[in-house]
A and B are shown apart, each in its own frame.
Chain A
Amino acid sequence: MNAPRSTSALLYLSGVTVSFDGFKALNNLSLLVEPGEMRAIIGPNGAGKTTMMDVITGKTRPDEGEVVFDGSADLTKLDEADIATLGIGRKFQKPTVFENHTVRDNLLLALAGIRSWYKLLGAAPTRAENDRLAGILSIIRMEEQQHMLGARLSHGQKQWLEIGMLLAQNPKLLLVDEPVAGMTDVETETTAQVLREVNKNHSVVVVEHDMSFVRALGVKVTVLHEGAMLAEGSLDQVSADPRVVEVYLGR
């Protein structure tokens, strides 16, 4: 079991089990995400969606099972910082930007590159870094706000900034947790467009409750229930599945 598995999938979960005080948050979960794919994960409350994100990003160690990224990296042996450096970015449900830093400094902190403390002590932003910052600021349309503190941004602007921070991080795989919670229909539609745009260069896993948003994404859907995979396929296929209907409507 200890030999590093190599797989063509970007993200490979097999038989992952996590229990908290006897409660199995994840129960023998398996999941495959191909390079370049965008995947939506849905499921009722307590299905294990967030725990799955925690396992992938190294916040929670699984009791059993394999988690392999990019062919051969065993994520169960790495911590958050290692996993982030490997190329997995995570966007939280609540936008978390650095409130006491300017928009520009938020992006600078996220920019792929120097992470060790002793190198940062003497480092000045390079021209290449400044160019990348300028590019990202124009993509998220926040050039005018670049010297504004994170705390003074509106909810929408914080979401934009956080997407910019993910772009700056330039991950291979993006994990996005409930991106449209608390958004209007128009904003929801815009966010779906943004994610499709991001998907052109990055693989994406989206966890979402909102069915109309998942429909707007138009991608393969995985349904989680009680810590395991219940169904997989297009949204129409899974919503026709009687077991999925029972989970969502039956009780």
Chain B
Amino acid sequence: MITRFLWNGMSRNLRLFVLLVLAIGIALPLLNQLMPRTSPFYVPAYVLQLVGKYLCYAALALAVDLVWGFCGILSLGHAAFFALGGYCMGMYLMRQIGTRGVYGNPVLPDFMVFLNYKELPWFWHGFDSFWFAAPMIVIVPSALALALGWFAFRSRVTGVYLSIITQAMTYALLLAFFRNDMGFGGNNGMTDFKDILGFSVQSDATRGVLCFASALALAIFLVISAAVVGSRFGKALTAVRDAESRMRFLGYRVEGYKLFVFVLSAAMAGIAGALYVPQVGIINPSEFAPGNSIEAVLWVAVGGRGTLIGPVVGAFIVNWAKTYLTGALPEVWLFALGALFILVTLFLPKGVVGLWGQIKARRAQPA
């Protein structure tokens, strides 16, 4: 019943796109497992890892677009929610190492032994269980978003001021997580993960499952976002984006609308971060770096703000270019990124996805 409701809420293009995302998530791991290594269709494990990473970035971009593209909240701190989800997963993975660590301590992770911790800090309790860590991945980023949004939206902090606050939030977390006595591994963060749910994080099969899980999460986020944006709530949401005070004079309490999407978006970012960490094998404070959040906004702008397909496409294009250029011409990457941003702002106000519409509109006009 609900699935049919969600499915009917999507446009035909979006349905095809969701199926495409799922197909990639199923096909790549299968080709990796079933094809012999000599076959031209064999997908090496590093491709699984790379695509899995991009899928997580795409989910983060979708989360940014939900607040920025549809509600006009330009969050420059969304990577913080991503990183918090990642840290929750990292804590679970650290506890799974057990006695296989360098110091062989059955309870304390290596960095705690190294820093002379006598016992596990209280906030680490429970993270040895996946079924405790999994809800935390959603709860921790959502709670931060709820607290920040509650105060900011109630005080009617909007526009560039809100962007600055979100940027300050992620920078404050960056500084906090750098400290050794915070109990999150300080500068080095957490790494050397061994198992997830009893399966080795290094094995090709686990990588395949993680890649599929990332695709599935992205597909679910797309369906949820489409349902939210396509509902009457979504109409009110874009109206808040376009004319906030008009909505207030119509009797809408816009804080509730903003807070709901902000928290939903933070939860999505947190899940994306949690799927990202086992695939890249490390989580450290640099994930909180302000530049990361700004880059995520850039993916949305490149792909197409205010569309659901755009942020996914943008995240793949920009990150593929980043992977390629930082390998081939490392000194060029930042210039290319800057140039891309200028070009998109000048010529593609609706992003790559909007380009198709622009071309069609131009063809329709008599020459």
> Which residues of A line the B interface, CB within 8 A?
57, 59, 79-81, 84-85, 89-90, 92, 96, 98-101, 105, 108-110, 114-118, 120-125, 165, 169
18 interchain pairs, CB-CB under 8 A: A79-B248, A79-B253, A80-B245, A81-B251, A84-B251, A89-B249, A101-B238, A105-B235, A108-B235, A109-B236, A110-B250, A114-B232, A115-B251, A117-B257, A120-B231, A123-B231, A123-B232, A125-B232
Complex Cα gap A117–B257 (Å): 6
Whether A98 and B252, one on each chain, are in contact in the complex, defined by CB atoms closer than 8 angstroms, is no
Q: Which of B238, B239, B249, B256 contacts A80 (CB 8 A)?
A: B249
**B223-279 interface with A by 8 A CB criterion:** 228, 231-233, 235-236, 238-239, 242-243, 245-254, 256-257, 260
Complex Cα gap A169–B243 (Å): 17
Whether A100 and B242, one on each chain, are in contact in the complex, defined by CB atoms closer than 8 angstroms, is yes
Complex Cα gap A169–B252 (Å): 12
Complex Cα gap A105–B228 (Å): 16
Contact (A115, B232) CB under 8 Å given A96-B246, A98-B242, A99-B242: no
Contact (A84, B256) CB under 8 Å given A100-B242, A123-B231: no
Residue on B with the closest CB to A90?
B249
Whether A117 and B260, one on each chain, are in contact in the complex, defined by CB atoms closer than 8 angstroms, is yes
> Which residues of B line the A interface, CB within 8 A?
228, 231-233, 235-236, 238-239, 242-243, 245-254, 256-257, 260
Residue on A with the closest CB to B248?
A80
Contact (A98, B239) CB under 8 Å given A108-B232, A120-B232, A121-B233: yes
Q: Which of B228, B235, B245, B253 contacts A101 (CB 8 A)?
A: B235
Taking CB atoms, residues of chain B closer than 8 Å to A92 are: 246
Taking CB atoms, residues of chain A closer than 8 Å to B238 are: 98, 100-101
Q: Which of B228, B231, B248, B250 contacts A169 (CB 8 A)?
A: B250
Complex Cα gap A57–B313 (Å): 44
Apart from A98-B242, A101-B238: 13 A-B pairs, beta carbons within 8 A:
A81-B248, A84-B248, A85-B251, A90-B249, A96-B243, A98-B246, A101-B239, A109-B235, A109-B236, A109-B247, A117-B253, A117-B257, A123-B232
Complex Cα gap A80–B246 (Å): 10
Whether A117 and B233, one on each chain, are in contact in the complex, defined by CB atoms closer than 8 angstroms, is yes
Complex Cα gap A196–B232 (Å): 33
Separation in Å of the A156 CB from the closest CB of chain B? Answer: 19
Whether A115 and B252, one on each chain, are in contact in the complex, defined by CB atoms closer than 8 angstroms, is yes
Complex Cα gap A115–B250 (Å): 9
Complex Cα gap A79–B156 (Å): 12
Residue on B with the closest CB to A117?
B256
Separation in Å of the A54 CB from the closest CB of chain B? Answer: 11
Whether A109 and B239, one on each chain, are in contact in the complex, defined by CB atoms closer than 8 angstroms, is yes
Separation in Å of the A98 CB from the closest CB of chain B? Answer: 5
Task: Pick from B232, B238, B251, B257 the residue with the most CB of A within 10 Å.
Answer: B251
Separation in Å of the B37 CB from the closest CB of chain A? Answer: 49
Taking CB atoms, residues of chain A closer than 8 Å to B253 are: 79, 81, 115-117
Complex Cα gap A27–B228 (Å): 47
Separation in Å of the B267 CB from the closest CB of chain A? Answer: 15
Task: Pick from B232, B242, B250, B257 the residue with the most CB of A within 10 Å.
Answer: B250
Residue on A with the closest CB to B235?
A105
Q: Which 9 pairs across A and B sit closest by C-beta, in order of nearness?
A: A84-B251, A80-B248, A120-B233, A117-B256, A85-B251, A81-B253, A121-B233, A120-B232, A98-B239
Taking CB atoms, residues of chain B closer than 8 Å to A98 are: 238-239, 242-243, 246
Complex Cα gap A57–B249 (Å): 7
Complex Cα gap A213–B102 (Å): 86
Residue on B with the closest CB to A86?
B251
Taking CB atoms, residues of chain A closer than 8 Å to B233 are: 117, 120-121, 123
Complex Cα gap A79–B257 (Å): 16
Q: Which of A108, A115, A121, A165 contacts B231 (CB 8 A)?
A: A121
Separation in Å of the A236 CB from the closest CB of chain B? Answer: 34
Complex Cα gap A214–B235 (Å): 37
Complex Cα gap A108–B234 (Å): 13
Taking CB atoms, residues of chain B closer than 8 Å to A125 are: 232
Taking CB atoms, residues of chain A closer than 8 Å to B232 are: 108, 114, 120-121, 123-125
